[in-house]
């Protein structure tokens, strides 16, 4: 056994670093732990380590987990961090982890091309990155704004912003503060308006669509949003018109499992039996594809329940026959 091999089990610093970095380490980090190039060659020769990029190694030969792929990307550049969806995944264990690893580096940093890694460049890298995170990542507010900025559809931009707040990764106020310190940002005013609405209680793209395309455009009364249930199963009601006993539930992407659907229907039943309230459910088609027709129907139901207001036609409404 060589002296390098004998040193390995004794290097608690090396073991701690490997555990912290999910089994990924750089050549320079090995040297910083008091070991030498002979030790690295020994690990590679014995098949204990595998070279994954110049000067970066992993301690197994099997499939690589998402966090290992993330560490490989970060450690393969001089000073980089996870960005965009990858930074969100690092902050939220429940986020889906498919697709490439997104990496951000400085404007002048040399970043070689890696399969499965998308490299972004940023002039304000030092101010935006949480360097003590594992792995280092762009702060969640900037990561969410980056993902939203690249959304091609308005509804997707809203969804990225609302989902981050609903998942309690950040708040609308923090996103607004991060937006204020950024220079150029696509559709800044629209983004500010969306975040202001989210701060007032719209927790999804569908709820924001109801607020802007149905409620505001057609003169419907202002409801309570995200009010807790008072009878039956615990939950929150998307839109509640207290005075007229009408509930509007918005079924978006979260309402996709049989159990979630069953819980929704049970809350509707509890509201009808326990509080004598009517519930109507709207989906993407009613809100984004047919908002004027939907607004007219909601207004009609509110009128039957005693609302004294009047439906207002918006510029998109078709002329009455």
Whole-angstrom distance, CA of residue 201 vs CA of residue 189: 19
Residues 250 and 133 in one domain: no
**310 in a structural domain:** no
Phi, then psi, of 118 in degrees rounded to 5? -105, 125
Distance, in Å, from the CA atom of 224 to the CA atom of 237, rounded to the nearest integer, reads: 9
User: Is there a contact between 68 and 144 (Cβ–Cβ < 8 Å)?
Assistant: no
- Looking at the fold, whether 170 and 218 belong to one and the same domain comes out as no
> Is the pLDDT at 320 greater than 80, yes or no?
no
Distance of alpha carbon 248 from alpha carbon 203, whole angstroms: 14
> Is 129 part of a structural domain of the chain?
yes
Are 176 and 294 within one domain? no
Number of structural domains (the chain) is 3
Distance CA 249, CA 235 (A): 12
- Distances from the Cα of 262 to the Cαs of 249, 265, 268, 275, 281, in angstroms? 14, 5, 10, 19, 14
Q: Is residue 120 part of a domain?
A: yes
Joined together, the tokens standing for residue 93 give 């264990």
SS3 217: coil
Examine the fold and report which residue of 144, 175, 199 is the final residue of a domain before the chain moves on: 199
The residues near 31 (Cβ < 8 Å, ≥ 6 apart) are 37
Residue 246 lies in a domain: yes
CA distance 7 to 24: 19
Cα(266)–Cα(272) distance, integer angstroms: 10
Whole-number pLDDT of residue 274: 63
Looking at 156, 177, 199, the residue that finishes a domain is 199
Same domain, 257 and 282: yes
- Regarding whether 71 and 192 lie in a shared domain, the answer is yes
Pair 166, 245 in one domain: no
Under the banding of pLDDT at 50, 70 and 90, the label for residue 4 is: very low
CATH number at residue 296: 3.40.1350
Residues 104 and 146 occupy one common structural domain: yes
User: 262 pLDDT exceeds 80?
Assistant: no
Domain assignment present for residue 321? The answer is no
Interval 120-136: pLDDT, tens? 999 899 999 999 999 99
- Segment 43-84, tens digit of pLDDT: 999 999 999 999 999 998 889 999 999 999 999 998 999 999
Is the residue at 131 inside a domain? yes
Q: Are residues 106 and 222 in the same domain?
A: no
Residue 318 lies in a domain: no
pLDDT of residue 8: 47
Q: Is 28 left (phi over 0), alpha (psi -120 to 50) or beta?
A: alpha
Q: Rounded to whole angstroms, how far apart are CA atoms 169 and 148?
A: 15
Average pLDDT over residues 257-261: 60
Per the CB < 8 A criterion, the answer to whether 92 and 111 are in contact is: no
- Each residue of 83-123: pLDDT tens digit? 999 999 999 988 888 889 999 999 888 877 888 999 999 98
Q: Which of 13, 41, 8 is nearest to 27 (CA)?
A: 41
pLDDT band of residue 258 (cuts 50, 70, 90) is low
CB 150 within 8 A of CB 143: no
Q: What is the pLDDT of residues 192-235, one digit of tens each?
A: 999 998 888 887 888 899 999 999 999 999 998 887 776 666 77
User: Quick one: pLDDT at residue 227?
Assistant: 76
Q: Which domain holds residue 39?
A: 3-60
Write down the pLDDT at residue 126.
92
The pLDDT value recorded for residue 5 is 45
Mean pLDDT throughout 155-162?
91
Percent above pLDDT 70 for the chain? 87
Helix (H) or strand (E) holding 121: strand 117-122
Inside any domain, residue 108? yes
More confident residue, 236 or 207: 207
**What backbone phi and psi angles, to 5 degrees, belong to 137?**
-150, 155
The answer on 250 and 137 residing in a single domain is no
Q: Which of 142, 173, 199 is the last residue of a domain?
A: 199
For residues 194 and 211, membership in a common domain is answered with: no
pLDDT digits (tens, 9 = 90+) for 265-309: 666 676 667 666 788 888 888 998 899 999 999 999 999 999 999
89 and 166 both lie in a single domain:
yes
Same domain, 244 and 162: no
């Amino acid at each position: 056994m060589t002296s390098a091999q004998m040193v390995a089990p004794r290097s608690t610093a090396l073991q701690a670093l490997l555990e912290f970095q999910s089994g990924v380490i750089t050549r320079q980090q090995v040297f910083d732990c008091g070991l030498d190039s002979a030790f690295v060659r020994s690990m590679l020769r014995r098949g204990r380590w595998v070279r994954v990029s110049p000067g970066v190694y992993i301690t197994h030969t099997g499939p690589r987990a998402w966090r290992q792929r993330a560490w490989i990307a970060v450690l393969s550049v001089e000073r980089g961090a996870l960005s965009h969806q990858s930074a969100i995944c690092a902050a939220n264990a429940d986020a889906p982890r498919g697709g490439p690893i997104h990496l951000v580096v400085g404007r002048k940093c040399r970043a070689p091309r890696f399969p499965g890694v998308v490299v972004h460049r940023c002039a304000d890298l030092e101010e935006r990155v949480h360097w003590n995170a594992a792995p280092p990542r762009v702060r969640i507010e900037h990561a969410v704004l980056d993902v939203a900025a690249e959304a091609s559809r308005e509804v997707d931009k809203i969804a990225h912003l609302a989902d981050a707040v609903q998942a309690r990764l950040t708040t609308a106020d923090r996103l607004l503060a991060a937006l204020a310190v950024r220079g150029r940002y696509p559709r800044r005013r629209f983004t500010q308006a969306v975040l202001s609405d989210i701060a007032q209680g719209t927790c999804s793209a569908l709820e924001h669509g109801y607020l802007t395309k149905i409620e505001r455009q057609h003169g419907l009364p202002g409801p309570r949003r995200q009010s807790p249930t008072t009878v039956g199963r615990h939950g929150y009601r998307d839109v509640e018109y207290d005075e007229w006993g009408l509930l509007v539930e918005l079924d978006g992407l979260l309402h996709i499992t049989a159990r979630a659907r069953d819980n929704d229907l049970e809350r509707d039943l509890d509201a009808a039996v326990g509080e004598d309230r009517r519930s109507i459910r709207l989906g993407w088609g009613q809100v984004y594809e047919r908002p004027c027709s939907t607004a007219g129907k909601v207004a009609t139901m509110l009128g039957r329940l005693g609302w004294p207001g009047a439906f207002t036609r918006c510029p998109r409404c078709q002329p009455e026959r």
